[in-house]
Structure 1
Amino acid sequence: MKTYATDVEAVDALHSSYKEIRDEIAQVIVGQDEVVKSVLISIFSNGHCLLVGVPGLAKTLLVQTVAQVLDLSYNRIQFTPDLMPSDIIGSEILGEDRSFKFIKGPVFSNIILADEINRTPPKTQAALLEAMQEKVVTVGGKTHKLPQPFFVLATQNPIEQEGTYPLPEAQLDRFMFNVSLTYPTFEQELQVVKNTTANRDVSLKKVLNSSEISYFQQLVRNIPITDHVLEYAVSLAAKTRPGTSSATDDVNKFLSWGAGPRASQFLVLGAKCHAAITGKYSPDKEDVKAVAESILRHRIVRNYKAEAEGISTEKLISNLL
């Protein structure tokens, strides 16, 4: 792995690597630039990402492509109502020598795609969410470390909610970003159809490896941030909490619950990473604003008044910004 004399050199390297990664991904994924940016910020910030979108928007293809370009191991877990925790984390079996042997589950990989995470019961969801938080799994009293870096990208389908188990707010809070995918434009869809209905062989270059990603994750934490930007990020999260002195009139009127301290942490980390990938050595308020919607979207809970008046979560966040 290449070493850098100063953090400034390292930030420059992260900036150029990000552009290279983005260009490689663009060979396969048409459009979805903001989604790609959010996924990469999550990885470099050592967080996890929740993608919400209708089927057919290349969520699985995106994760496969990211894993390939970053030279990371990848597993896809299709969540179903009969999935058990042992199907994710692994289980112990009795070997030929009459001793128990641990067989690793699919969670032992650098990148996990948890497809339709809301289709499986809470017990199984909790097994994955514990692994996300602790970066280890415990089976039969023994602790097994997960490979590093470790990144979970979960998907949820906003339609067909019958027979689903929506993630409670406390578990949604484990995800750094909640990214909403929208339909492509006409021109983008035209390009997608052209690419996918012809014999087109794309050779992707591996831009980074696991040790370089771990290095950049540490670098993001070392990026300096001024007190006024730090205070802006914390006050933004505090403003979402109804009934407090920081809350705005809109928040008191339309929200039941606001974002917790983890939102403040992710706003700062996300802003640092956003600054680095755009070539800046320290984040400003614009970097906080750039990541705010995806960080706050799943951490604030609207009340019946907001739903009755058609006030969306995005509108409330936009007003706060």
Structure 2
Amino acid sequence: MTWLVTGGAGYIGSHVVKALGEAGLDAVVLDDLSTGHADFVPEAVPLVTGSILDGDLVEAILRDHAVTGVIHVAGYKYAGVSVQRPLHTYEQNVTGTAVLLERLQSVGVDRLVFSSSAAVYGTPDTLLVTEDTPKAPESPYGESKLIGEWLLRDQAVAAGLRSTALRYFNVVGSGSPELYDASPHNLFPLVFDALTAGRTPRINGDDYDTPDGTCVRDYIHVSDLALAHVEAARRLDAGDTLLPAYNLGSGDGISVRQIMDAMAEVTGIPFTPEIAPRRPGDPARIVASGALATRDLSWSMRHTLHDMVSSAWSAHPRHP
């Protein structure tokens, strides 16, 4: 059994490929390398450079590698930038998913694990997000992920697709020193870049209604996330029926100040964060329940905050 990992040369996708290998499952990667890195893919895993928008290429991979299922991680993932590039975002995330599903149907592959996002919820008015929390995305990115889930739902009716979507918030850490988060928009690399450049990291607002005044979010280790994708794949291989979507949440969250304190401790670079004004629209707390994923996908938070920060720091390209 071979699983195609779209976006498998990226930060999250490469960890999924790693977890597949450790579980004894074969993989093949499709990645256009727009944000991925070819050297993130193990030498033993075939890497095809190209886009999921290229239907003929997708179908050739499915046939040539006898693919039995897909873990669909590829996509344009920058919510803020998606507001300025909505058409590009929809092309990559909606049209790309539709092309992929069309070719899966053509060759008879009926298993798919979809890397979705907690951005489908927007800014929920509940302290603990569940899978039933109303969907109200606030960016083209969040909307594109919700449409992707609708496409899976409709293909289940039309073509018997068996799938599930995994929704998550902030992914951090590293499962190997060679695999790192290179995003110019994510908190961990932004703070590490500031520290190694001699700048002081900043916190946007410290007067929220939270225990220490800073925003609280779900931060999950990328290796834990990858294991959930692999477990979902194994469950689909076994013929099990999964829910349409699962939240991969911590249930309690971590504050921005807690992260800053851990970063000072781990890096050995003492600093006092600058306090900047609140960013418009930042809610005080967004945390999800992972109870259903724990029940069905053996989901758990296997890594502590210290693990998250230390592993990310060890893999950071500018680590001294």
What TM-score comes out, normalization by structure 1 length?
Answer: 0.31
Higher helix share: 1
Look at both structures and tell me which one has the larger radius of gyration over its CA atoms: 1
User: Looking at both structures, which has the greater relative contact order when contacts are Cα pairs under 8 Å and sequence separation is at least 6?
Assistant: 1
